[in-house]
Amino acid sequence: EVVMTQSPATLSVSPGERATLSCRASQSVNSNLAWYQQKPGQAPRLLISAASTRATGLPARFGGSGSGTEFTLTISSLQSEDFAVYYCQQYNNWPRTFGQGTKVEIK
Amino acid sequence: EAQLLESGGGLVQPGGSLRLSCAASGFTFRSQAMSWVRQAPGKGLEWVSTIDISGGYTHYTASVEGRFTISRDNSKNTLYLQMNGLRAEDTALYYCAKDYSNYVGSMDVWGQGTRVAVTS
């Protein structure tokens, strides 16, 4: 099983600042990686597929990068609606696996 | 607009069974692989199972293999998860999700979930 490790567990950021979230895979997943956002009481929302392809309608301030075992989600200028938990997920191998999540909170 | 609506959750004793359903609308259900993902209270997301477009190929996480069965009825636009031998650790909110495509295993449409509680 591919283990996905996200860091940090919690990221405290001021509105307008840049947030950088990391996701590491225990073995190469090529570019078969997705990022999701989840707000309290809501279902997850797909942000990024294929490591860097933004979902339809996703603001340009969200960007994904990386391949192999190291991936990054960057939010260039945090808005109030961006404070949430973010998960990475690999779909290169079965079973599909998620990281444990990074909570982005208001500083 | 693509939508998914789960149902069938509830309270069940250890060892019991439940069948979850997920009604799909707004997209061509028969052309999309579908998945179940669960979230235990206060915890992260856990992928449970995926089924291909015909139902001929299925995958499961190890902890549910042999106890859970994913299936679909393309004539009814409905996805199912039959859960047998339920354990306390199966307690979670169960989401139905549509795969982005048959070649990309991200999940781009999610339901609101149905709760399963396994307790004596």
- Gyration radius from chain B CA atoms: 13
Sign for the CA dihedral angle at B52, B97, B7, B38 comes to positive
pLDDT at A20 over 80: yes
How much is the pLDDT for B101? 85
The alpha-carbon gap from A70 to the nearest alpha carbon of chain B, in Å, equals 18
The alpha-carbon gap from B38 to the nearest alpha carbon of chain A, in Å, equals 11
Which chain A residues are closer than 8 Å to B110 by Cβ? Answer: 43-45
The alpha-carbon gap from A32 to the nearest alpha carbon of chain B, in Å, equals 8
Q: Are residues B47 and A97, on separate chains, in Cβ contact within 8 Å?
A: yes
How much is the pLDDT for B103? 78
- Interface of A to B at Cβ within 8 Å reads 1, 32, 34, 36, 38, 43-46, 48-50, 55, 85, 87, 89, 91, 94-101
Q: Are residues B106 and A100, on separate chains, in Cβ contact within 8 Å?
A: no
Across the range A91-95, mean pLDDT stands at 96
State the pLDDT confidence band at B74, using cuts at 50, 70 and 90: very high
Q: Percent of chain B having pLDDT more than 90?
A: 96
Which residues sit opposite B35 in a β-bridge?
A: B50, B97
The alpha-carbon gap from A43 to the nearest alpha carbon of chain B, in Å, equals 6
The backbone torsions φ and ψ at residue B78, rounded to the nearest 5 degrees and listed phi first, read -135, 135
CB environment B105-120: b (16+ within 10 A), e (fewer):
bbbbbbbebbebebee
Separation of alpha carbons A10 and A18, rounded Å: 14
Q: Are residues B44 and A44, on separate chains, in Cβ contact within 8 Å?
A: no
Q: Which two tokens stand for residue B96?
A: 């139905």
* Exposure on the CB side of residue B59, measured as CA atoms within 13 A: 15
pLDDT at A57 over 80: yes
Of B45, B62, B108, the CB nearest to A87: B45
Q: Are residues B45 and A38, on separate chains, in Cβ contact within 8 Å?
A: yes
